Amino acid sequence: MKSVVANRFCNYVKIHTSSDSRSDTVPSTLIQLGFARLLAEECKSIGLTDISLDTNGYVMATLPKNCNDDIPTIGFIAHMDTSPDASGDAVNPRITENYNGEDISLNGITLSPKEFPSLLHYIGDTIITSDGTTLLGADDKAGIAEILTAMEYLIAHPEIKHGTIRIAFTPDEEIGRGADHFDVNAFGADFAYTVDGGKIGELEYENFNAARADIQIKGKSVHPGTAKNIMINASLLASEIISALPKNETPATTEGYEGFFHVAHLEGSVSSASLSIIIRDFDKNNFEARKSFLQSVVAQINASFAEPPIFIRIRDEYFNMKSVIENHMHIVDLAKKAMTLCNITPSVQPIRGGTDGARLSFMNLPCPNIFTGGHNFHGPFEFIPVSSMEKAVQVLVTIVQLSAQQS
């Protein structure tokens, strides 16, 4: 495989970097720091300057301007961690060259166009998957590979005039903490793009409002034969909370601008149980109503006990960046024009999720999201076409070129 960006990507995905929402450390997993060190060294090796790696695992670097024009400083950002929803350990990327439109057989699973018809858009392309036992990690190691490949290309082609470019790689995006310790002032960009989207052409500046409810349940375990009016089964109380959630408001039953509740983690016994529920909605009022609803469910169950056995903590994770980006639509238009010049039809749509850019936009760094080319993130059916990765690199380079031309 001769693709520079694809080879870089395949090297990255072999490095285990899953984040962990149950951890209180920064980053949440120390394995992310190892990857951060590698990326800092790679930034140095390709010729970037002002390279920094802080104790929290944030990597930043600069491609200095190569002309005297007054050009805005552009940032490109991607995250280092992979989702804890599926194993990210011992990822073994599998290459399918000249894809023929048929099933791709992996270990224990089949990636089929019958279930994933988007595969048929890539007949003749080279497809990268995992071996079927792990996720792949295109979210967001594809973004990292694309950013560094674009920087390497610009360094090798000094005839392309550009302003200062800043890049950053963040930890813990998948658990909603990617912007917690991001130093916007040190980054110093006028605006930025996260390279963290899906299929080719995606361009996003709307995202969910997001919160996570962590619920702890304290039960009372006694012998079941003499348990009447004494036992409190924590697992049953967890199931009662889940049963109270609207059946048609889950990730599997919603699309577009529809919000949902998602039971992300459940663990329990008679004596104790823990439950993690993520709350998502584009509309701020509906978002607040969802949080209130979940709190009322817990309050109603607790009211049946002399000592409430259920403890709930709801933590906001990020908000819909649309309200910020609407005041900076020129950066969306810049990305649209870049895609069009690269023969890509921009697909402007809401993110049914979030990126670091959502929070960074509220930290005075307007930051819409650009595609990586990946599909089916967070699981073993994940795949990415090499041509989409190469197009992402072209789009980043073209954004830089256009910014210089428009200044």
| Best CA proximity match to 374, nearest among 74, 2, 5, 14 | 5
Task: Examine the domain organization and report whether 83 and 229 are in the same domain.
Answer: no
Its sign, for the CA torsion 364, 46, 16, 393, is positive
Q: Give the pLDDT confidence of 177-222 residue by residue, as tens digits.
A: 999 999 999 999 999 999 999 999 999 999 999 999 999 999 999 9
- Based on the fold, state whether residues 20 and 91 are members of the same structural domain: yes
Shared domain for 220 and 309, answered yes or no, is: yes
pLDDT per residue over 241-290, tens digit each? 999 999 999 999 999 999 999 999 999 999 999 999 999 999 999 999 99
Report which residue type is found at 281.
D
User: Do 144 and 259 have their domain in common?
Assistant: no
Residues 286, 363 share a domain:
no
When divided into structural domains, the chain yields a total of 2
Give residue 69's pLDDT. 86
CB within 8 Å of 291: residues ≥ 6 apart = 211, 213, 279, 314
User: Are 85 and 193 contained in the same domain?
Assistant: yes
In the chain, the largest separation of any two C-alpha atoms, in whole Å, equals 83
Domain span at 133: 4-207+320-406
Same domain, yes or no: 181 and 328: yes
In this prediction the pTM is: 0.87
**Domain shared by 99 and 114, yes or no:** yes
Do the beta carbons of residue 277 and residue 262 sit within 8 Å? yes
Which amino acid appears at position 238 of this protein? A
Tell me the average pLDDT across 63-71.
Answer: 92
Q: Indicate if 82 and 157 belong to the same structural domain.
A: yes
Q: Are residues 254 and 300 in the same domain?
A: yes
We report the CATH number of the domain holding residue 88 as: 3.40.630.10
Phi, psi values for residue 61, rounded to 5°: -155, 165
Q: At residue 81, what are phi and psi to the nearest 5 degrees?
A: -80, 155
- Which residues are known to be catalytic? 81, 173
> First and final CA of the chain: distance in angstroms?
38
Q: Which pLDDT does position 407 carry in this prediction?
A: 67
HSE-CB of 114 using CA atoms within 13 angstroms: 5
Q: Which residue matches tokens 């996570």? A: 212
**End of a domain among 285, 317, 349?**
317
Query: Residue 311 belongs to a domain with what CATH number?
Result: 3.30.70.360
Which residues, including other chains, have CB under 8 Å from residue 28's CB and lie 6 or more apart?
19, 20, 21, 81, 171, 172, 175, 177
How many whole angstroms separate alpha carbon 26 and alpha carbon 35? 14
Of 317, 351, 378, which residue sits at a domain end? Answer: 317
Of the three residues 257, 292, 317, the one that is the final residue of a domain is: 317
Residue 403's pLDDT is 96
| Same domain, yes or no: 153 and 290 | no
Angle ∠(58,84,110) on CA atoms, nearest 5: 125
Distance CA 295, CA 239 (A): 15
On whether both 135 and 196 belong to a single domain, the answer is yes
Q: What is the mean pLDDT of residues 349-359?
A: 88
